[in-house]
Structure 1
Amino acid sequence: MFHSRIFPVARVALATYLLDNLEPMRNAAEVLGGPEAARRVSALTHELSEPVPLTSRIGRALEWLEGLLTLERVHDFDTVEAERFALLDPDDPVVVEICALTDGFNDALMALRVEAPSIFRTRAKAA
């Protein structure tokens, strides 16, 4: 068994999840946040998969993606997210895909919050 202090299991799992789902995640980000959001997903995925230390900047990027996927900013009518959400047809199959991607991302992110809590503004809660 690997110990997370020796081998970053949650980081590898999250990077793998993002790499394995890069195109659907980019598509979800574009649907929910436009082309700039899709570009940010690509950059975050690349950075997270590199063998560099995790930083609070990466933590903020992960929290941004979590907020995008969980629709945290759609109530603020001045955001791109609110505009794009208003155009989304609830019966569009992309909605189901976004929900599935969000569930998988959140599971992997939760594990990383436990493994590397110092990089996040919102700290992991004890189980």
Structure 2
Amino acid sequence: MFDYLPTEDRDPSLDLARCFFSDHGQDLADAAARLGGACGNARVVSCALQIKTACRMNHRIRRDLVALHRLLSLEDVGDPACLETELFGALHPANPQVETICVLTDMLSNLLTQIDSSLASRAYSEGEGNSAAA
């Protein structure tokens, strides 16, 4: 009936990702499609589905979030063999989507930083638990 997880079992980094996708998923999909074509859009959909069904943040989700950040950050633009270069070249700087892409890039960067902090904290806590058990 309800998807209830006890608070102590919830993964804060996964909750952050879920909130981000809930609030900005459509804009993220639009931006990814604009800069990465159908593959960019598919990565957003795939990542959203993984986030929805996961119990904990995992390396695959984080890897996909990093790939989306690379796409929005234009890291592959400039390579003439990349679709991203062609799609970016067709985007006019005055297009309102440019500002949305910039804001999403910053928010995704912040999300990745928060996830990394949460994962480091979780690893430390799990290490403390292992030390206490020994």
TM-score, structure 2 normalization: 0.76
Whether the aligned pair in 1 keeps the contact of 2:11 and 2:56 (CA below 8 Å) is no
Q: Which residue of 2 aligns with 1:62?
A: 65
Instruction: Give the drift of 1:51.
Output: 3.2
Q: Which residue of 1 aligns with 2:79?
A: 76
Whether the aligned pair in 2 keeps the contact of 1:13 and 1:108 (CA below 8 Å) is yes
Whether the aligned pair in 2 keeps the contact of 1:30 and 1:37 (CA below 8 Å) is yes
Task: Point out where structure 2 has 5 or more consecutive residues left out of the alignment.
Answer: 1-7, 121-134
Distance 1:44 1:9 in 2: 17
- Residue from 51, 55, 63 that aligns with 1:52: 55
Note the aligned Cα RMSD (angstroms): 1.7
- Alignment of 1:9 with 2:12, yes or no, is yes
Whether the aligned pair in 1 keeps the contact of 2:11 and 2:55 (CA below 8 Å) is no
Query: Higher relative CO (CA 8 A, sep ≥ 6), structure 1 or 2?
Result: 1
Instruction: Give the drift of 1:6.
Output: 5.0
Structure 1 segment 106-125 matched on structure 2, within 5 A: 106-116=109-119
Whether the aligned pair in 1 keeps the contact of 2:31 and 2:101 (CA below 8 Å) is yes
**What is the total number of aligned residue pairs between the two structures?**
113
Q: Which structure has the bigger radius of gyration? A: 2
Distance 1:86 1:57 in 2: 30
**Share of identical aligned residues, percent?**
28
Whether the aligned pair in 2 keeps the contact of 1:14 and 1:105 (CA below 8 Å) is no
- Alignment of 1:20 with 2:23, yes or no, is yes
Distance 2:20 2:61 in 1: 16
Which structure: greater helix fraction? 2
Q: Which residue of 1 aligns with 2:107?
A: 104
Code of the residue aligned with 2:36 in structure 1: it is G
Task: Point out where structure 1 has 5 or more consecutive residues left out of the alignment.
Answer: 118-127
